[in-house]
Each structure stands twice: as structure tokens, then as C-alpha cells.
Amino acid sequence: MIWLTDVLAVIPISLFIWAVSLVLGAVVAVPTAGARMSQLRPVRILAAVYIEIFRGIPTLVWLFVIFFGLRTFGLSPTALVSAILTLGIASSAYIAETYRSGLSSVPIQQREATTALGLSPRLSLIKIVLPQAKPIIFAGLGSYAIHLLKETALTSLIGVVEMMTVANYLVERGANGLTVFFVTGVIYMLLCLPIAGAVRLLGRSRRQNRPAGPDSLTPLSTPTAPPECAAPWHGMRWHECNSSST
Amino acid sequence: MNVSMEKQPRMTETVQSAPRGQEAAEQPAVQVSNLGKSFGAVEVLRDIELEISTGEVITLIGPSGSGKSTLIRCMNLLETPSSGTLQVMGETLVQDGKILPKRSQLQEFRAKVGMVFQSFNLFPHLSALENISLAQVHTLGRRRAEADERSAQLLDSVGLGQRMNHMPAHLSGGQQQRVAIARALAMDPDVMLFDEPTSAIDPELRVEVLKVMRDLAQSGMTMAIVTHELKFARMISDQVLFLADGTIVERGTPDELFGAPQHERTHQFLAAIEETKL
Amino acid sequence: MQFILDLMPGLATTFGLWLLILLIGLPGGLALGYLLGLGSRTLRVLGLVIVNIARGFPGLVTLYFVYSGLPELGVFLTNFQAVVAAFAFTTMGYTAEIFHSAIHSVPRAQTEAATALGLKAWKIQVKVVLPQAIRSVVPTLLGFTVIVLQATALGYSVGVRELTGLSYNLGSISFQALSYMLAAGLIYLVLCVVISQLADWMQSRSAGKRVKRVKHSPRKSHPTTTPTPVA
Ligand SMILES: Nc1ncnc2c1ncn2[C@@H]1O[C@H](COP(=O)(O)OP(=O)(O)OP(=O)(O)O)[C@@H](O)[C@H]1O
Ligand SMILES: [Mg+2]
């Protein structure tokens, strides 16, 4: 199992691609989601098209398109740059939808209540809507983050030296493919564990542990709605097929 | 309902409405004229004429879908009327179906009209006290401590002084609605609107909300209430309006409207309600 | 336009992969879903291990595992077969959960009613429970097929000349790499949008039906299947 160290050695590269694209995606997703929910119809449609284009075309194809495309424009990006750019932009489309479904899971009545109290839309968003959307957004962000980590394996196909590239190389050099690829798969799974944990921690609402007073009734309902997706199958990806047993 | 039935003389009670600055002499608190509202091609309200004097309590009754909610929501511009005019406390807010004030002014105005929703709409991530303090701080610009003090006082007056730090999920429907009333009162509103405030509450808990509303009415608050609690409406109102198919079919004092309805449609409605009680 | 026409053979291959993966993966997922709901502890643990590997491995890893790993065990698959096997396995893992929760969401009262009528246990499953469970997940599964479609693009990596593989090849021969890739992307996009719209339409249709049924029912609404959202 001497080869194992070689695979482990490039974990930081996979994690680097993952982290940078995730941050890039999460940031670009903010204006994208804003545009998607804009009052102006053309803006809304434009954002919807952007999102649909990135969700409707396989990431691998995007990797090639951007890799080849940048060259056509005379740039010679390294594989790593193309990889991060592709995964980052694609992420922004997915994450924008996560933001949107989180925000729209907050009942419209909550906004009405703030309007009736004379709160500005901005304050209403910050004080009322976002705190309620937070657990749902983090849950969606978390499963996307896990999905994205697995997607980084694709970057080996445009020549980024990450775990899959090394695993492949080792197998070509005569290592046992069965063990190498299985162990690589397990490494990916193990890497996902702390992400899932972190997300659970971040998404925990500030108040969940507040003790109810001695004279309180039994909770009538949990305050946070279950993650609700307008159309969960629409442009669904692997990461969106979660369910309880994992 | 066990809320006492006689119309009591108005007096300052447990619930205190805001001290009214200058009584707008002779001017109605709310004046609606020729108001209409359509959703797309569907006309939901038409030719609505309505006046609420300062300190007056009116109730809107009528069958489901008749436009009661839409009308009351037009009064604080949660819905924008399609036509007609709306004046609140002497200020013209809507003229010929156009909203006159700018957005920032609108926010100020809305704070002056309290709204209580059927589904309470408390903010689930904030405690009862924080629910009430939030808009005091951010809309009225009160200091935090000052707002919290007022909130505590209001919670006391609706009988929930012990539940300040409870989250909405840990309160019963009746308690949540009382918090919601306190939240609206914290803005020192000139008018309070109620849209079926007890419909979503277990029958045995409704009375606690009705009592709060009765006290509020007795303190001199101007109120418009949509309700299906006819006994309560009869007890509390100065004026009752019967709405059907988007128009006010009949109006009058409670005794007139409930005792001797003039229109066939009103008669039908009251008889149908009577029947469901059997 | 010429680019798109050139890619038609690849589209056929993609389509073949897609169909075979679903034909094998979906029934497999149903079987695995039942396994998850079984009383036997060992079988359930086994099912969970399979599900977690299928979901936890990146698609590319699973594919390489099948294509260059299994030969160590004497299992030699062509590249086409390897893609089918790998993603049928993944599909199994993902849909097992969908089927599992759908079967669970069929009200117990349905089984009880059927038992009271004297139906045999397996007949209850086949005639009463399964039809309701499957109907409730059809839109979700249809959406899932989009994911499978996109996954077939990985066939490129083991040399299958499906859409992506073929456009890569043609692109490198003709020095028109970008145009061929864009054409492939366009085809994927159209397919995905069409399937998604179909899923939306089916969902709204079945939702509409459900509402109507309740409305017209004179008695208190009898328990209908309420599909629990998978997401
Ligand atoms: N946002 C909307 N878009 C379209 N139609 C609406 C909208 N809101 C209300 N309506 C329609 O307007 C009519 C009046 O609705 P409204 O809610 O005011 O009735 P209501 O008298 O309050 O009934 P209920 O007693 O059931 O609350 C109904 O036919 C309703 O379907
Ligand atoms: Mg209503």
C-alpha cells in the first residue's frame, strides 16, 4: 500500500479546487439569485437562462468548453485555472437556486407582517427572512458542497493533477486497480464527513437550545419548515437526492 | 363566548391604546370612497364606500370569498386598490387607484395602522418580547431598552407578562395572537385592523383574544375587524357591514343589521350561520 | 448546424447508455429499496453499505473501479458495458432511497384494508402498495433521468464515443474543439430541458388530480398517498 501516500499527498489540491470554486460559486450566486427573484421580468428571465444553461449541460462538457474556449480567445489558462473557473461558475448556478429556494421557503406572511410594521424591505430581509432561511440554505449548501467535492474528480480529465490523476497513474504503473480506486473512493467519502458535520454546526439555529420556560406548553411545531423545493426534480443533481438515511 | 355581552361604556382599561396626539376633529380616521380592486381580470371589490370615525369600531362580515380580507388589506396598502381613494387620519394615500406617498413615507404610514393577521405571523426565530421590540427599534427608532420596557408593559396588559422570553412555537394559538396584537400596538397605531383574528385558534382559547380586543375597543381604539364571531361583533361594534360579492350589501348598527336585516342576501347569510350552530 | 449533425451517432450512443442504465438501475433500486425496509438486520446493513458507496463515490471513481478494477477479479467489461454497470449501480443507490421512502409513505391503513380482504402478503405489495408508491415517485424519477443523462458524459473518460466522447474526437481531428463541444452542450441542454418540463408537467397534473379527488369526495377525505418530498 505504498502507493497510498501518493494519493494522500494530492488531497490538498482537490481540497483547494473545491474550496476556491465553492467560495467563488457562493459569492457569484448572490447577485444571480437576486436577479432570479428580481421584479423586472427581463432580468429574471436572463438569470433563469443562465441557471438553466449551467444545470442542463454536464459539468464535464463545461470543463472542455471553458478550457478550449479560453484558448480560442488567445488565453492559455492552466488546467487548474480552467477547472476552478468552470466549477466556480457552475456552482454559482446551483447555489443561486439554493439561495432562492431557501428564501422562498419563508412564508410570504412573514414579509407581510414586516410590511405592516413599517420595516423596510432591507431590514425585513436581514432581520426576518434571512434568519429563517438560514438553516435551509445551509442544508442545501452543504449537500452541494459534498457534491462539488466529488465533482473535482472530473478535473483529472483536463489534466489537473489531483487524486484521480494520481490513482490512474498508479494503476497504469501496475498497482491493483481494484484496491486503488476503491480506496480513492473511500477517501472522497471520508473527506465529505467533516463537511457534513461543519454544515450541521453552521446551520444550527441560534435559539435551538434555548430552554423553554417552566410554564411553557409542549412545542406546537418546530419553527423551521422542512427544506422545500418548488420542483425538486427540476434540474436536480446527485446532491439533491438526499434523504434521511445518510 | 363568555365575553360579557352588554355594550359597556368606553373607559380606559387594561389595554391602553396610544395616547392620541391631536384629535383630528370631525375628520374620519379612515375614509374609503369608490374603491375597487381587481386581480387581473377578476374584480374582487367594487364601489366600496366606507368611513370609520376616530374611536369607532366597525366589523365586516360576509361569506367566504366576498372580499373582506382584500378590503381590510387595502386599508394598510398590503393590497393596492385598483381605483378609488383612501384617506387615513386625514392623509390621502390613494387617489384614483394611485399610491401618492413615496416608499419611505409609506413605511411610516404603515406603522400607524396596526394589522393583526389570521395566522398571527409572529417571527418564529424571535422571542415574544423581541417580536414586539423589533419594529419599535427599527421603524420608530426607539432605544432598545425603551422598546423592551414598552414591550414588557404591553405583554403584561395582554396577560402574557410571564411569557416574555418564550418562542412563538412554545405558545398556544391564543397566546400567539395576543403577542401579535401587542406587537401591533407597540407602534402606537391610530387604527387597528383585524383579519379574522380568532379563526385559527382553538374555540376554547378564542375568548382570551376577544377579551383583549374588547378592552382595546373600550380604551377608544379605532378598529376594523373581519370576523365570523357574530355574537362578538354584535357586542363590540358601532357599525356592522355586510359584504357579499365584492360590495357592501348592507350596513347599520349591530341591532339593525342582526335584528332586522333589510336585504334578502343578508338574511340568508345570517340564517345559514345560525343553522351551522345547531 | 453541421456540428450537431456530425454528433448524431454520439447522441444515439448516449441514448443507448441512458436507456440501459435506467432499465437496469431502476428495478435494482426498487429491489434495494425493499431491502432497506426489511426486518433482517444483516440485509439492511448490507443495503445501507451499498447505498452509501453508490452515493459517496464520485461517478468517475465508480466508473474506473468497474472498468480497470474489476478485471483483477476476472470480470472484463467493454467500455460501453462498464459505463452501464457503473451508473446502473449509482442509480440503484440513489433511487433505492426514493423507493424506500415512497413505500413507507403508503399509509399503513392500505395494507390493513387489503389484509382484511384476505389478500396474500405478496399480492398486497404488488397490487396495492407498489402501484401507489411508484405513482408518487414518477415525477421525481423522471427528473432523476436527467442526472443519468448527464452522467453518461463520463463515458468519454473510458473511450466510449457518446456525445461528449465523439465531440472531443471530432474536435481534435478538425481543430474545431470548441464548436463541437458547444454543439454537444446544446444537445444536452435541449434534452434536459425537455425532460424537466415533462416532469414538471406530470407533477402538476398529478397534483391537480389529487386536489380534485378530495374536493369531490363527499365523505371525509380517505387517506390518499402523500408523497414525502425526497429532497
Ligand atoms: N392575490 C390574489 N390573486 C387573485 N385572486 C385573489 C387574490 N386574493 C384574493 N383573491 C380573490 O378575491 C376574492 C376575495 O378574497 P378575500 O380573501 O378578500 O375573501 P374573504 O372575504 O376574506 O374570504 P374568507 O372569508 O375566505 O377569508 C376571492 O375570490 C379570492 O379568490
Ligand atoms: Mg379572508
What is the Å distance from ligand 1's center to B177 Cα? 22
Residue having the nearest C-alpha atom to atom 4 of ligand 1:
B39
Q: Which helix (H) or strand (E) holds C114?
A: helix C108-116
Residue A209: Cβ within 10 Å count:
7
pLDDT for position C208: 63
Contact C69 A246 (CB under 8 A): no
Q: Which of C3, C61, C62, C145 to mutate to test the interface with A (most CBs of A within 10 A)?
A: C61
The CA distance from A57 to C163, in Å, is 12
pLDDT at B228 over 70: yes
Closest ligand 1 atom to B40 CA: 4
Q: Which amino acid is at C217?
A: S
What is the Å distance from ligand 2's center to B195 Cα? 7
Residue having the nearest C-alpha atom to atom 12 of ligand 1:
B44
pLDDT at B185 over 80: yes
Q: Give the residue-averaged pLDDT of C11-21.
A: 95
pLDDT in tens, A58-88: 999 999 999 888 887 877 778 899 999 999 9
Q: Find where cell 429499496 sits.
A: C33
Q: Whose CA is closest to A230, among A49, A111, A104, A93?
A: A104
Query: Residue A60's Cα: distance from chain center in Å?
Result: 17
pLDDT for position B22: 47
Q: What is the DSSP string of chain A?
A: -TTHHHHHHTHHHHHHHHHHHHHHHHHHHHHHHHHHT-SSHHHHHHHHHHHHHHHHS-HHHHHHHHHHHHHHTT----HHHHHHHHHHHHHHHHHHHHHHHHHHTS-HHHHHHHHHTT--HHHIIIIIIHHHHHHHHHHHHHHHHHHHHHHGGGGGGGT--SHHHHHHHHHHTT--HHHHHHHHHHHHHHHHHHHHHHHHHHHS-TTTTPPPPTTPPPPSS-SSPPP--SSTTTT--GGG---TT-
The DSSP symbol for C218 reads S
Q: Which of C142, C184, C231 sits opposite A61 (nearest CB)?
A: C184
The CA distance from A155 to C66, in Å, is 20
Q: Which helix (H) or strand (E) holds C53?
A: helix C41-56
Name every chain C residue with its beta carbon within 8 A of the beta carbon of A59: 150
Question: Residue B197 in contact with residue B119, Cβ under 8 Å?
Answer: no
Q: CB-based contact (8 Å) between A237 and chain C?
A: yes
pLDDT at A151 over 90: yes
pLDDT at C207 over 60: yes
Strands B222-226, B57-61: pairing kind:
parallel
Q: What is the largest CA-CA distance in chain B?
A: 56
pLDDT for position B84: 93
Whether B135 lines ligand 1, by a CB cut-off of 6 Å, is no
Q: Which of C48, C56, C153 sits opposite A58 (nearest CB)?
A: C153
Q: Which of A68, A171, A188 sits opposite C58 (nearest CB)?
A: A188
- Surrounding ion ligand 2 within 5 Å at CB are B 69
Q: Give the residue-averaged pLDDT of A124-141.
A: 92
The DSSP symbol for B90 reads T
Q: CB-based contact (8 Å) between A127 and chain C?
A: no
Q: Which ligand is nearest to the CA of B42?
A: 1
What is the Å distance from ligand 1's center to B245 Cα? 10
Question: Which residues neighbour B75 within 8 Å (Cβ) at sequence distance 6 or greater?
Answer: B30, B32, B86, B88, B113, B191, B193, B224
Q: Which of A233, A234, A241 to mutate to test the interface with C (most CBs of C within 10 A)?
A: A233
Q: Whose CA is closest to B241, among B69, B58, B46?
A: B58
What is the Å distance from ligand 1's center to C215 Cα? 19
Residue A150: pLDDT band (50, 70, 90) is very high
The CA distance from A132 to A222, in Å, is 12
Question: CATH homologous superfamily for B30-276?
Answer: P-loop containing nucleotide triphosphate hydrolases (3.40.50.300)
Q: How far is CA C162 from CA C8, C10, C188, in A?
A: 9, 4, 12
Higher pLDDT, A147 or A220: A147
Contact A116 B125 (CB under 8 A): no
The CA distance from A199 to A145, in Å, is 9
The CA distance from B177 to B128, in Å, is 11
Ligand 1 site-directed mutation target among B38, B39, B48, B79, most atoms within 8 Å of CB: B39
Contact C193 A52 (CB under 8 A): yes
pLDDT at B50 over 50: yes
Going across the sheet that includes B113-116, the strands are: B113-116, B191-195, B222-226, B57-61, B239-244, B247-252
Chains A and C touch (3+ CB pairs under 8 A): yes
Question: Residue A21 in contact with residue A91, Cβ under 8 Å?
Answer: yes
Question: Residue B35 in contact with residue B48, Cβ under 8 Å?
Answer: yes
In angstroms, what separates the C-alpha of B225 from chain A's closest C-alpha? 16
Q: Which three cell numbers stand for residue A123?
A: 431590514
Q: Which helix (H) or strand (E) holds C180?
A: helix C177-216
Domain spans of chain B, in order of start: 30-276
The CA distance from B251 to B117, in Å, is 24
- Which chain A residue lies closest to C101 (C-alpha atoms)? A243
pLDDT in tens, B201-214: 998 899 999 999 99
Higher pLDDT, A130 or A195: A130
Closest ligand 1 atom to B196 CA: 27
This prediction's pTM: 0.81
The CA distance from C86 to C92, in Å, is 10
pLDDT in tens, C78-93: 999 999 999 999 999 9
Ligand 1 site-directed mutation target among B61, B68, B193, B225, most atoms within 8 Å of CB: B68
The SS3 of residue B139 is coil
Name every chain A residue with its beta carbon within 8 A of the beta carbon of C97: 241, 243, 245-246
Whether B48 lines ligand 1, by a CB cut-off of 6 Å, is no
Ligand 1 site-directed mutation target among B38, B42, B70, most atoms within 8 Å of CB: B70
Q: Find where cell 340568508 sits.
A: B268
Contact A176 C58 (CB under 8 A): no
Question: Which residues neighbour A199 within 8 Å (Cβ) at sequence distance 6 or greater?
Answer: A138, A139, A141, A142, A145
Q: Which of C11, C178, C180, C202 to mutate to test the interface with A (most CBs of A within 10 A)?
A: C178
The CA distance from C34 to C38, in Å, is 6
Contact C203 A233 (CB under 8 A): yes
Q: Return mean pLDDT, chain B.
A: 88
Chains B and A touch (3+ CB pairs under 8 A): yes
Burial class (CB in 10 A: 0-12, 13-18, 19+), A174: exposed
Q: Enumerate residues 193 to 222 of chain A having a beta carbon within 8 A of any beta carbon in chain C.
A: none
Q: Give the residue-averaged pLDDT of B187-196.
A: 94
pLDDT for position C19: 95
Residue having the nearest C-alpha atom to atom 13 of ligand 1:
B65
Residue A119: Cβ within 10 Å count:
23
Please name the chains neighbouring B, where neighbouring means 3+ C-beta pairs under 8 angstroms.
Answer: A
Whether B227 lines ligand 1, by a CB cut-off of 6 Å, is no
Burial class (CB in 10 A: 0-12, 13-18, 19+), A221: exposed
Whether B68 lines ligand 1, by a CB cut-off of 6 Å, is yes
Contact B114 A116 (CB under 8 A): yes
Contact C229 A189 (CB under 8 A): no
Burial class (CB in 10 A: 0-12, 13-18, 19+), C159: middle
Q: Whose CA is closest to B172, among B213, B208, B196?
A: B208
- Which chain A residue lies closest to C90 (C-alpha atoms)? A238
Q: Give the residue-averaged pLDDT of B217-223.
A: 94
Can you tell me the ipTM of this complex?
A: 0.84
Q: Which of C181, C187, C194, C200 to mutate to test the interface with A (most CBs of A within 10 A)?
A: C181
Residue C17: pLDDT band (50, 70, 90) is very high
**CATH number of the structural domain C2-210:** 1.10.3720.10
Higher pLDDT, A222 or B242: B242
pLDDT at C215 over 70: no
pLDDT at C213 over 90: no
Question: Residue C124 in contact with residue C111, Cβ under 8 Å?
Answer: yes
Residue C210: pLDDT band (50, 70, 90) is low
Question: Residue B121 in contact with residue A109, Cβ under 8 Å?
Answer: yes
The CA distance from C89 to C91, in Å, is 5
pLDDT at A124 over 90: yes
The CA distance from A18 to A88, in Å, is 9
Structural domains of chain A sorted by starting position, each given as residue range(s) with its CATH number in brackets: 14-207 (1.10.3720.10)
Residue C224: pLDDT band (50, 70, 90) is very low
Question: Which residues neighbour B128 within 8 Å (Cβ) at sequence distance 6 or greater?
Answer: B122, B155, B160, B163, B164, B165, B166, B167, B168, B171, B179
What is the Å distance from ligand 2's center to A230 Cα? 25
pLDDT in tens, B135-179: 999 989 999 999 999 999 999 999 999 999 999 999 999 999 999
Name every chain A residue with its beta carbon within 8 A of the beta carbon of C138: none
Q: Which three cell numbers stand for residue C114?
A: 387489503
Q: CB-based contact (8 Å) between A77 and chain C?
A: no
pLDDT at C226 over 50: no
Question: Residue C61 in contact with residue C53, Cβ under 8 Å?
Answer: no
Within chain B, where are the H helices?
68-75, 103-111, 128-138, 144-157, 173-185, 203-218, 230-236, 254, 264-276
pLDDT in tens, C150-176: 999 999 999 999 999 999 989 888 888
pLDDT for position A205: 56
In angstroms, what separates the C-alpha of C128 from chain A's closest C-alpha? 24
pLDDT for position A240: 55
Contact A215 B110 (CB under 8 A): no
What is the Å distance from ligand 2's center to A22 Cα? 45
SS3 per-residue string spanning B217-263: HHCCCEEEEECCCHHHHHHHCCEEEEEECCEEEEEECHHHHHHCCCC
Q: Enumerate residues 176 to 215 of chain A having a beta carbon within 8 A of any beta carbon in chain B.
A: 205-207, 210, 212-213, 215
The CA distance from A87 to A144, in Å, is 12
pLDDT at A27 over 50: yes
Residue A220: pLDDT band (50, 70, 90) is very low
pLDDT in tens, C174-204: 888 888 999 999 999 999 999 888 888 887 7
pLDDT for position C6: 83
